[in-house]
């Protein structure tokens, strides 16, 4: 099972099981062409595609494709395919960041569900209407619509399979959904549904197979390019890149998202997923993601920015990601009010990140002297005491140490090379000795820093 970091408002702790319970708008999508799809154009466009998809065609996995109907679509009365198409049009406005679109979309899902339940039962004898009901469930619609449609339809088992699959998904019946998705092929579904079902399949198989989930998420992006399903898939892929500790892939995905979906209503969730994945990168990989991290954080308003960077600094210290902690603390100190409790807290993170480095050890000690314990809460007082204790135990001034050595005031030119070599040798010996003596203390430091994981988080709203 895939375990993720502590969830926020949209993403879950468990990638597959809990994601199926996430808010409906986080799992919605549409095809890139659904915006102009009218009854006549729908028949024409999909009819051309249907010429290449004949009943019984098999793919490389011996999967028999479902027969898709391209008969003229009905338009009289309440037609589910029309209602879902209009929902998909509204989804397109979400990606463009229209402020009122998200609430309008949520209300429209309720309206569409009520209308579908009032539709004449005869509409459920059309394959495309059954498929529309399946899509409706995947985007968070009322499952009662599926129960009505399944009772009313007289179509074949192959025709109702997508709706059964979507109902199992909506009911969080992971076992049944996994069985239905075992032989998943996007070509069993109309073009306007393929990206949505590929995404749903990635959620289900993600319980047991990260690689397959990643493959399906990338497929959903291609099948629904430029839509909310691609935006959602990118956020999931950022999580996976973090789990894989793949800094190059993470950097690529974040750059892609930042260029394409920075106006999404879920940008805040993307920021959270990105910094959580950043915490999993090694110190050596931090330079690969630092430019994207800076660019993403800069897109936030000042209040959200300082909340995010302070949380990054806190968690990065706790996980021992010191370059990331130092970066985030510096970014936060630029925004924190002078003398504020936040400034003292960020200074503590900065000192903790600098202390283990002998080049910045003395600067960290000076910073600790400026921090007031009275401005820290209980948990941060514990960290302050731990870092102060460490600073005392590592109380070795390299510059003073060198000044205590006997020195020759006047050195002949031919003696300079010998003295320089001896000086370098002594420095190396000192560094090795200090490293050996400090190791137990540093291990204790790491254990103390891990206590930060118990601190209350500040979620990005």
Residue-wise pLDDT for 193-222, tens only, equals 999 999 999 999 987 899 999 999 999 999
Among 47-51, 146-150, 224-228, 434-438, the minimum mean pLDDT is found in: 47-51
Query: In this model, does residue 261 exceed pLDDT 60?
Result: yes
Kindly state the percentage of the chain with pLDDT values over 90: 49
Q: What is the mean pLDDT of the chain?
A: 78
Of 12 and 352, the one with more pLDDT = 352
Distance CA 215, CA 349 (A): 39
Where does the pLDDT of residue 458 fall: very low under 50, low under 70, confident under 90, or very high at 90 and above?
very low
Instruction: Answer whether CATH 1.25.40 is correct for domain 19-36+81-389.
Output: yes
Distance CA 367, CA 374 (A): 16
Query: In this model, does residue 166 exceed pLDDT 50?
Result: yes
Half-sphere exposure of 150 (CA within 13 A, CB side): 17
Query: In this model, does residue 293 exceed pLDDT 60?
Result: yes
The runs of H, that is alpha helices, within 206-320 are 210-223, 228-243, 247-260, 267-278, 286-298, 302-318
Among 57-61, 78-82, 117-121, 247-251, the minimum mean pLDDT is found in: 57-61
Confidence (pLDDT) at 417: 54
Confidence (pLDDT) at 408: 31
Q: Which residues contact 297 (CB under 8 A, 6 or more apart)?
A: 271, 305, 308, 309, 331
Distance CA 185, CA 58 (A): 10
Distance CA 102, CA 98 (A): 8
Where does the pLDDT of residue 67 fall: very low under 50, low under 70, confident under 90, or very high at 90 and above?
confident
Where does the pLDDT of residue 183 fall: very low under 50, low under 70, confident under 90, or very high at 90 and above?
confident
What mean pLDDT do residues 28-53 have? 37
- CB of 307 closer than 8 Å to CB of 297: no
Kindly state the percentage of the chain with pLDDT values over 70: 71
Query: In this model, does residue 24 exceed pLDDT 60?
Result: no
Among 98-107, 115-124, 129-138, 149-158, the minimum mean pLDDT is found in: 98-107
Query: In this model, does residue 244 exceed pLDDT 70?
Result: yes
What residues form DSSP beta bridges with 424? none
- Please state the φ and ψ torsions of residue 3, each to the nearest 5 degrees: -105, 130
* Residue count (the chain): 461
Residue 270 has which token pair?
A: 């993307």
């Amino acid at each position: 099972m895939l375990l993720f970091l502590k969830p926020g408002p949209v993403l879950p702790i468990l990638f597959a099981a809990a994601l199926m319970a996430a808010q409906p708008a986080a799992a919605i999508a549409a095809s890139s062409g659904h915006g102009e799809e009218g009854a006549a154009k729908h028949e024409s466009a999909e009819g051309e595609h249907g010429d290449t998809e004949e009943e019984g065609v098999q793919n490389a996995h011996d999967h028999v494709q479902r027969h898709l109907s391209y008969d003229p679509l009905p338009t009289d009365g309440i037609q589910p395919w029309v209602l879902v198409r209009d929902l998909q049009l509204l989804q397109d406005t979400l990606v463009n960041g229209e402020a009122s679109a998200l609430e309008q979309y949520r209300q429209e899902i309720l309206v569409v569900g009520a209308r579908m339940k009032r539709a004449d039962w005869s509409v459920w004898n059309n394959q495309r209407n059954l498929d529309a009901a399946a899509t409706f469930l995947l985007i968070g619609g009322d499952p009662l619509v599926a129960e009505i449609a399944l009772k009313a339809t007289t179509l074949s088992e192959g025709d109702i399979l997508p709706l059964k699959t979507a109902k199992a998904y909506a009911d969080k019946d992971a076992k049944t959904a996994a069985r239905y998705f075992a032989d998943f092929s996007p070509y069993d579904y109309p073009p306007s549904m393929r990206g949505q079902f590929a995404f749903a399949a990635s959620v289900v198989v993600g319980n047991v197979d990260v690689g397959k989930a990643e493959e399906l998420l990338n497929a959903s992006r291609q099948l629904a390019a430029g839509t909310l399903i691609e935006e959602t898939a990118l956020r999931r892929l950022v999580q996976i890149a973090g789990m894989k500790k793949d800094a190059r892939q993470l950097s690529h995905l974040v750059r892609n998202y930042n260029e394409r979906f920075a106006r999404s209503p879920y940008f805040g969730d993307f920021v959270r997923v990105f910094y959580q994945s950043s915490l999993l990168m090694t110190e050596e990989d931090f330079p690969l993601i630092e430019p994207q991290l800076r660019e993403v954080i800069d897109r936030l308003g000042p209040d959200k920015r300082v909340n995010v960077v302070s949380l990054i600094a806190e968690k990065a210290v706790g996980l021992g990601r010191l370059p990331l902690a130092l970066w985030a603390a510096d970014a936060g100190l630029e925004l924190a009010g002078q003398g504020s409790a936040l400034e003292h807290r960020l200074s503590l993170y900065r000192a903790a990140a600098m202390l283990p480095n002998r080049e910045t050890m003395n600067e960290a000690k000076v910073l600790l002297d400026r921090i007031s314990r009275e401005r820290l809460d209980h948990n941060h007082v514990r960290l302050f005491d731990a870092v102060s204790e460490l600073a005392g135990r590592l109380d070795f001034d390299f510059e003073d140490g060198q000044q205590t050595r006997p020195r020759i005031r006047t050195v002949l030119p031919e003696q300079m090379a010998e003295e320089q070599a001896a000086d370098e040798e002594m420095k190396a010996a000192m560094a090795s000795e200090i490293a050996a003596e400090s190791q137990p203390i540093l291990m204790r430091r790491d254990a103390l820093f891990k206590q930060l994981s118990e601190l209350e988080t500040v979620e990005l709203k």
